[in-house]
Structure 1
Amino acid sequence: MRDSNGSVQEAWPEPERLAMLKDIAEALNEATDISEAMDAILPRLSGVLGLSTAWAFRYDAGRSQFVEVGASGLPPALACDGGAPLKSGWCECQDRFVEGRLDRAVNIVRCSRLRDAVGDKGGLTYHASVPLRSKGKPLGILNVAAAGHSVFTPSALQLLTAIGHHVAVAVDRAAILAEERRRAEQLRALSDIAAELVSVVRPRAVLELAVCQFVDRLGYECCGITFREPGDPEAEALGAGGPGRVVASAYRSSDGEPAGYSYARDEEEPLLDEAERVLLPEARSAMVRPIPHSPYEVRVESRRRGAFSASDEEMLSAFAWHVAASLENARLYEQSLEEARWVERRRLAADLHDAVSQRLFSAQLLARTARLLAGRGHAKRRMAAQRTDERRMDEVLERLEALIADSQREMRELIEALRPAGERGWVARVRERIAPLQLQGQTRIHLTVAGDAEEPAIPFEARESLLAALDEALHNALRHAGARNVHVHLRLAADEVEVSVQDDGCGFHPEAAEGLGTSTMYERMRKAGGRLSITSHPGRGTRVVFTVPVPGDPARGEDR
């Protein structure tokens, strides 16, 4: 209701006022977030106070930040871009709240948000601001407005203050529910991250995948893992708590990200000490946890002050333990490989001793016998005895030649067994896979090889993954493409191996490729540290390219 001066006033008996407050309290009990709270109170106040718009800012006292906004009935000028005008900058009501000058409902007759909003403002000029507190805890601000140039009377402001107490309780409950939902989502994401990490068997790959997944799935600005070698003078100069060398890092992309709340005074907050700004030059807060049983630490930084809560710290600790478990799994895998190598070496040593060494010893004895027989031939003796010695020498030499030949054959077999399959025979294995497929249907498979004359030493795991992915791509082309020709091209280089499979079949939309084995191929390439690209258009065939790095690639920083 409005008086003769255009001010909003209450015009209802006390019983109706109490009934309205009870109705509002019951409606707020059903709200699970701030926007639902605004939707609950606005219809109940529109009739008695002429309100058309309500919005609220939630305040996090621990961070000294406004962290969330909810609204109902916003005019187009404030509702555009998902309510972006309310999610950035600052206004007079926030200023008063932060400085402790907003202790009751007041009229804000000069509102910078309404003044600066562009477009249809729905006739809004002023608004009333109501501080939200529960048990002395500051929770935020409730703003309400009505079209026109009217202000709220003291009695109306008193009513809004009473309503503010109910809204504060709803906002507090909504904050708790939001934090619980966030924590549940993060725990689910953390479980998924752990499941992925345990399948990685290279320590460096574990660290790189861990930070990427932490940022992508948990929504933090950035994450990094640092390493300090014992006795590192540069690290020691920073002190016992100083950060080490960054070995893996990931940053959240802002492309397509929904607008979050950003209080403009963040820019006035001090930065962390330079030594603590390891990942972000503008970092204002950070949290660090050691990765158990390792020389690594995981750290997260943010441009916002007080960005991390106790829940965030617990999440980082749990993440550090998952990374530690995955590193231990990778260490045990490498240990098992090393043990397998030693077993194979011992077996080869035994084979050399039992076969080649024994044969060479026999050959040595025969050589001594031949030398003795040859010495006797120079002495003067009867012709018949000399012919007998010559026959015996011929037999000894024949046996010696046979022993040496057998030893050479066995040595070649052992050398071939010792030779890494990735250095020799990988192209031959590709040919073996293609040969039986030539007999299937009318599709012709063409193989070309380009690059170094000597095949590069592809690691065992990468070699097997590459061959398995090639099998999948070839079978996909034969089963689904309806192609007349499939061209397989191998490019061998010192730093990488590239395999492309191109057909002239029906093609498809790559985004609809699920079910054609693409997920399996992507997984195989990921485990091998390689890349996979698929190019296809309906009616224009398909090209699948696998690329696997070879140890010693300078870009990977490994020694050959």
Structure 2
Amino acid sequence: MSYENDQEMNTLKVIAETLNRSNDLEQMLQTVLVKLLELTKLETGWIFLVGEKPHFRFVADVRLPPALSWGEKKPMCTGSCSCLNRYWKGDLVDPINIIECKRLDDAVQYDWGETRGVTHHATVPLAAGEERFGILNVASPGKEHFSKEELTLLQSVAYQIGTAVKRTRLFHAQEKRAENYANLNEVIRLIWKTSNLSTLANVVVRESLDKFHWPVVGFYTREGTALKLKSSETNHVPDPLPDQIPMEVKNEITLSFKQQEPISINHESRVVEGLSSMAVPITMKEEYIGILFVAGPDPEAFSDSDREVMQALAGHISLAFESIRLQEQRGEMLLYEERRRLARDLHDSVNQKLFSLSLLARGAKEVISTDFPALKDPLDEMLSLSHGSLKEMRSLIWQFRPVGVEEGLVTAIQKYAEHLGVGVTFDVEYVPDFPRTIEEALWRIAQEALNNVSKHASVNSVAVTLNESVDGVTMKIADYGKGFDLSPKKSGKRSLGLTSMKERAELIGGSLHLDSRPGEGTTVKVFLPWKPKGESS
């Protein structure tokens, strides 16, 4: 190469003009490499864009020898080499005159093909100020030395390339940021159209995948001692997300939930092996709700704007949760008022009439049973039926009152048992924050079980056990009364209440088991999963 000042200035001018023609990074690097070799009369060259070890991308090349270009240039796209190792160690600051090329040495050793006489190359770091972006390598057959002037020119060109890489990345970052926020507005608009919590996770996941094109999107919520996957979708990636993650497991999802801060992992996700990932917590006031999780195969899959957008999205999800929760509470208040009205109406009408009927039957029995002995048994039956109906009506009125769990499930069971005159002993280590559907189902099943004890067991005490697990919650209600035969012919009227309890459990994906024998008491055991039936995973 001839390096007269005017030729050097012309080279830098042409390179600068070439770099300014495009914002397509890889196209720009390919074009400028062609121009550089044309101006310097060098034979071949290639460029790596380098990230954190061991990640790099082979992005441009000109006239690679066959030994390095076979298999869609596989020798250049995999494995490490001396120049990359120096770059990662921080030793590659200035142009290095000649480096023996491990890739070329391997080509000779393993007979990959013709090297066209290229045995060494010069290596120049691509940088702009303190930022480093990659490596420029150039070579020619038989060339084992570059002069100081040649290296100075290559360094100047490399600085121009580094500056152009920085400019292009900033351009694309701003472009992506604008696109991300436009997409965020679309996702937020659809989130705020959602009116119930059971579909919110599906909307968030589906729309995030569609608008942001994140390869993997998952929505986890806390249920008991684990984070449960409420919804997930993938884009050309097999669904890798675990259905549940116990809190004691250490990964970016549980860490983000516990620390209540975003966690980003490059290519070393503990949730989905080999992918980059990002987890952002969703919090409503002081309540920890769950995690929005995204993942992808690119080590640089998530930009700063992706992180900003995910945090903004998580904020809107939290607000949507709060809004839907308030709407549900308003609905519950309306139901509360309606139950109060029904209870009041039943008390004022049917209950009073049954009470009057009971008094009339008792009075009639005392007045006429002596004179008309044939009426004694019918009057006794009438009195018994009126007492039974009155008791059942009072229980019905009690059930028509508000749901009854405002003070907690255990307190509600205790109060209802006291209302029936039944004593309760509890074996409960910890009462979790139940989802509303589970709490109401447990409460209604407990009511029916206590009703059965009051009516049939001939005892005035029960034992209630409540246990939670990763999968769900188990409640047992046991009495030590007279028990009964479970065969349909002998269970009689109890079968209706037992069927009702079983159907209530199965409605949300649970199960109910009854164990009873004459003289050995009765145990009702119900299991309800954290994820109610019908909610998407």
TM-score of the superposed pair, with normalisation by structure 2: 0.51
2:136 paired with 1:142: yes
Alignment of 1:173-192 (within 5 A): 173-188=167-182, 190-191=184-185
**For residue 288 of structure 2, what is the aligned residue in structure 1?**
295
The code of the aligned residue for 2:123 comes to: S
- Mapping of 1:304-323 within 5 angstroms? 311=305, 313-323=307-317
Q: Distance in 2 between matches of 1:44 and 1:559?
A: 64
Q: Distance in 2 between matches of 1:84 and 1:187?
A: 38
> Relative to 1, partners in 2 of residues 1:89 and 1:65: Cα closer, same or farther, differing over 3 Å?
closer
CA distance in 2, matches of 1:249, 1:29: 48
- 1:32 maps to what in 2? 23
Q: Does 1:89 align with 2:47?
A: no
**For 1:129, what is the secondary structure of its paired residue?**
strand
Over 3 Å counting, the alpha-carbon distance change for 1:558 and 1:92 in structure 2 is closer
Query: 1:70 and 2:59 equivalent?
Result: yes
Decide whether the 8 Å contact of 2:50 with 2:133 is kept in 1: yes
Q: Is the 8 A contact 1:126 1:150 kept in 2?
A: yes
1:212-251 equivalence runs, <5 A: 217=212, 219=214, 225=220, 227=222, 245-248=226-229
Structure 1 position 164 matched with structure 2 position 158: yes
| Cα contact 2:104–2:119 (8 A) shared by 1 | yes
* Cα distance in structure 2, aligned partners of 1:329 and 1:323: 10
The amino acid that maps onto 1:173 is: R
Q: Deviations over 1:515-551 (max 9, x none)?
A: xxxxxxxxxxxxxxxxxxxxxxxxxxxxxxxxx9743
Comparing 188-197 with 96-105, greater Cα deviation is found at: 188-197
Q: Are residues 96 and 41 of structure 1, via their aligned partners in 2, closer, same or farther at CA, if it must alter by over 3 Å?
A: same
1:45 is aligned to 2:36: yes
Evaluate the alpha carbon distance shift between residue 218 and residue 97 of structure 1 in structure 2; reply closer, same or farther with a 3 A threshold. same
Name the aligned partner's letter for residue 291 of structure 2.
V
- The alignment of Structure 1 onto Structure 2 pairs a total of residues equal to 369
1:552 partner letter: G
Deviates more, 1:150-159 or 1:111-120: 111-120
Contact 2:508–2:532, Cα closer than 8 Å, also in 1:
no
Contact 2:98–2:120, Cα closer than 8 Å, also in 1: yes
Superposed, which structure 2 residues align to 1:2-13 within 5 Å? 9-10=1-2, 13=4
Q: Which runs of 5+ in 1 are unaligned?
A: 1-8, 230-243, 258-270, 379-392, 419-458, 460-547
Question: Once the two structures are superposed, what CA deviation does each residue of 1:19-75 show, in whole Å capped at 9, x if it has no partner?
Answer: 232121022112324312223313423433344654333345xx6775554214465
Q: Which residue of 2 aligns with 1:17?
A: 8
Shift of 1:321: 1.1
Identity level (%): 28
Judge conservation of contact 2:37–2:43 (CA < 8 Å) in 1: yes
Q: Confirm whether residue 153 of structure 1 aligns to residue 146 of structure 2.
A: yes
* Shift in Å, 1:186: 4.1
Match of 1:552 among 501, 506, 510: 510
Distance in 2 separating the partners of 1:178 and 1:248: 33
Aligned-partner Cα distance in 1 for 2:176–2:75:
25
RMSD, aligned CA: 5.7
Distance 1:165 1:312, change over 3 A: same
Deviations 1:360-408 (A, max 9, x none): 4665687588669858988xxxxxxxxxxxxxx9xxx9xx9xxx9xx99
> Could you say if the C-alpha distance between residues 220 and 16 of structure 1 is closer, same or farther in structure 2, counting changes exceeding 3 Å?
same
Q: State the distance in 2 between where 1:348 and 1:250 align.
A: 39
Contact kept in structure 1, 2:122 and 2:138, CA below 8 Å = yes
Q: Aligned partners of 1:159 and 1:200: how far apart in 2?
A: 61
Query: In the alignment, which residue of structure 2 is the partner of 1:104?
Result: 94
Amino acid at match of 2:228: V
Letter in 1 for 2:8: R
Q: Which amino acid aligns with 2:86?
A: R
Alpha-carbon distance change, 22 to 343 in structure 1, aligned in 2, over 3 angstroms: same
Would the aligned equivalents of 1:190 and 1:319 in 2 still touch at CA under 8 Å?
yes
The CA deviation at 1:93 is: 1.5
Instruction: Within 5 Å, give how 1:447-466 maps onto structure 2.
Output: none
For 2:105 and 2:142, the matched residues in 1 are separated by: 13
1:223–1:301 CA contact under 8 A, matched in 2: yes
C-alpha contact 1:58 1:139 (8 A) present in aligned 2: yes
Contact 2:279 2:293 in 1 (8 A): yes
CA contact (8 A) 1:227 1:246 kept: yes
2:284 touches 2:322 (CA, 8 Å); kept in 1?
Answer: no
Give the conservation status (yes or no) of the 8 Å contact 1:226–1:248. yes
1:205, distance to aligned residue in structure 2 (A) = 6.1
Cα deviation, residue 334, structure 1: 3.3
1:131 match: secondary structure: strand
Give the superposition deviation at 1:330. Answer: 3.9
Q: Aligned partner of 1:161: which letter?
A: Q
Give, as a single letter, the amino acid of the residue that structure 2 aligns with 1:291: T
Change in Cα spacing, 1:355 to 1:81, as seen in structure 2 (3 Å) is farther
Aligned residue runs from structure 1 range 430-445, under 5 A: none
8 A Cα contact 2:49 2:135, kept in partner: yes
d(CA) in 2 for partners of 1:52, 1:358: 105
**Mapped contact 2:509–2:528 kept (Cα < 8 A):** no
Q: C-alpha offsets along residues 144-202 of structure 1, whole Å, 9 cap, x if unaligned?
A: 345x3435632433322221121111011122223334444544554455455556666
Asked if the contact 2:253–2:293 (Cα under 8 Å) also holds between the matched residues in 1, the reply is no
Question: Quick check: 1:56–1:141 contact (8 Å CA) kept in 2?
Answer: yes
CA distance in 1, matches of 2:304, 2:61: 32
Give yes or no for the alignment of 1:113 onto 2:107.
no
Q: Residue 53 of structure 1 contacts residue 73 of structure 1 at CA under 8 Å; is this kept in 2?
A: yes
Match of 2:318 among 312, 319, 324: 324
Residues 102 and 131, structure 1, Cα contact 8 Å, conserved in 2 = yes
* Structure-1-length-normalised TM-score: 0.49
Q: Give the distance between the partners of 1:559 and 1:220, measured in 2 at CA.
A: 27
CA-to-aligned-CA distance 1:176-231 (integer Å, 9 cap, x gap): 223334444544554455455556666576558757876885647786757598xx
Change (3 A) 1:334 1:176: same
